[in-house]
A and B are shown apart, each in its own frame.
Chain A
Amino acid sequence: MRPFLFFSYWQYVIKMHLAVIVLMASILGLLFSEIFHRRIIPRLISRNYLSEDVHKPDKPRIPEPVGPAVSLAFIVSTIVLAPLVKDPILLMGIAASSGISSMIGLLDDISPLGAKSKPLLLTLPAFVMMATGGLIPRPILPILGRARLYYVYWPLLMAMYTVFSNSVNMMDALNGMLPLSVFGATIPLIPVILMTGRDEALISLVLLLSVMFPYYLRNKYPARVFGGDSNSLFIGATLAGISASSNTEAFFSISLLPFIVSGFSLIVSVGGLVERREIAKRPVVVKDGMIRANPDRAAPMSMIAILTSSKPKREPEIVMEVALISLFSGILSCLTFFLLTPR
C-alpha cells in the first residue's frame, strides 16, 4: 500500500486549487523559516559558531551555519503540504533528497569533507529521487523536444545533483549573492514549470523561494548570518530535484548558467576538484573593501573574477551584477522554452 493513501480522501474533499496551495506554501515557508532562524541564530552565537567575513576591512565574526533553519523550514512545510498534492511521494522525495544534501553540507561545515568525497556524496540524494518512482526519464530539451533517455538518464541525474549542488555552493561567496541570484535565476522559470503541469515541482520551487527570503534579509550586505554548505548544498539539491521532477533539467541548467560557468571555470583553472581552502592562488584580492580579480595570470577564473577583471568593485555592486546576470539567464531560459522547444 502506498504511504499517504489515507490522505487521498482529503484530496478529493478539499479540492484545493493549485493557486491556494502555492499561496499556502509561500506563507508556511516564510513562517517556518522565520521561526527557525530566530531559534537557531542565538544558539550559534552562544556556542561560538562564528566565521570571519573576509571581505570586510574590520573582519567581523558572523554566526554560521544557518543552513539548517532554511532546510528544516522547507522539510516541515513540505510535510504539512504533502497531503494536499497529487503526488505526495514525489514532493516528499524532493524534500528528503534536499535534506540529505543539507546533512552532507552540515557535516562539511563542522568537519570539512575532502574535495573528491563531497561531490561523490552529493550523488546520494539522486537515489532518493529515483526511489520515489515519480521520475520520468524523458527530459524536455530545446530544439529536440522530449528525449527518451531510459538508460543514460539515471547516471546523468546523479551528475546533475552534484553539479547543481557544487555550482550553487561556489556562488556563495559574497553577502546575499546566493539567495539573490537564485531568486533571479528561478523566478522566470515559474511559467515553464506551470506549462509542464507538475504541481509538486511548482510548490517546491515556491516553497524554496519563500524559505530563502528570511535568510536573504539576514544575509544581505552587511551580512548578519552565513548559511554555510548546509544551506548552499541544500539549495542546489532542491533545484536539481525540482528540475528532475518537472523534466526541465535543460532549462534549469540554462538559468543556472552564471553558477555553472563560475563553478566550471574555477574547477578547470585550478586543474580539478580542489577544496576551497586548498586553492593556492585566490581568484580575487580584497583591498580597503574593494574586490578585484587577482592580477596573477595563473589565478583561477570565477564569475566574481570575471566581473572585477577590468576594475575593482564594492561587494554590493558585484552582488547586484550577479543577480542581474542570473535574472538575464533565467529570462533566456524561459524564452528558450517558449520559442525554441518543440512540444
Chain B
Amino acid sequence: MDRGLILAIFSIISGWALILLSLLVIKVLILSTREGSFFYSLMEVGMSFLTLISFLFIWYRLLRYLFLRTKVGDSGPGGT
C-alpha cells in the first residue's frame, strides 16, 4: 500500500466523517431552536448549509495540503 492509496482512502473516510459531523451539528441546531415557526425553519436550513460549506472548505484545504505534500514532498519514496 503506497501513500497515494492511503491518501485516497483518507479522502473517503474524512468525506464520510464530514457528512456525519454536518448532520450532527444540524441535529443540535434543530434540537436547540423553537419548532413551528417558518423563520426558525429557514434559519435551520441556512445554518445547515453554512455548516456544510465551512466543513467542506476546511476538508478541501486539508486534502489539498496532504496531496501536495505527498506529490512533491521530500519524505522519501512512496510505499509503506
Contact = CB atoms under 8 A, between A and B. Distances in A.
Contacts of B15: 257, 260-261
A51 B74 CA distance: 39
Given A261-B12, A297-B68, A142 B20 contact: yes
A311 B4 contact: yes
Contacts of A301: 63-64, 67
A328 B9 contact: yes
A253 B20 CA distance: 12
Nearest to A152: B45
B19 interface: yes
Contacts, number: 96
Contact of A306 (B13, B60, B67): B67
A308 B20 CA distance: 28
A152 B43 CA distance: 12
Q: On chain B, which size bracket covers the interface?
A: 20 to 34
Interface stretch (A105-113, A161-169, A203-211, A264-272): A264-272
A83 B60 CA distance: 46
Mostly, the B contact residues are: helix
Interface string A117-154: 00000000000000000000000011110000000100
Q: On chain A, which size bracket covers the interface?
A: 35 or more
Mostly, the A contact residues are: helix
A310 B4 contact: yes
Interface string B17-48: 00110011011001000000000000001000
Contact of A295 (B7, B13, B20, B71): B71
Nearest to B2: A310
A31 to B, nearest CB: 35
Contacts of B20: 142-143, 336, 340
Interface in A5-39: none
Given A307-B4, A311-B79, A332 B64 contact: no
- Most chain A CB within a 10 A radius of its CB, from B9, B12, B24, B63: B12
Interface in B49-80: 56, 60, 63-64, 67-68, 70-72, 77-79
Interface of B: 2-5, 7-9, 11-13, 15-16, 19-20, 23-24, 26-27, 30, 45, 56, 60, 63-64, 67-68, 70-72, 77-79
Interface of A: 141-144, 152, 250, 253-254, 257-258, 260-261, 264-265, 268-269, 293, 295, 297, 301, 303, 305-311, 313, 321, 325, 328-329, 332, 336, 340
19 contacts: A144-B23, A152-B45, A261-B11, A261-B15, A261-B63, A265-B63, A269-B64, A297-B68, A297-B71, A305-B71, A309-B3, A309-B7, A310-B70, A310-B77, A310-B79, A311-B77, A329-B16, A332-B16, A340-B20
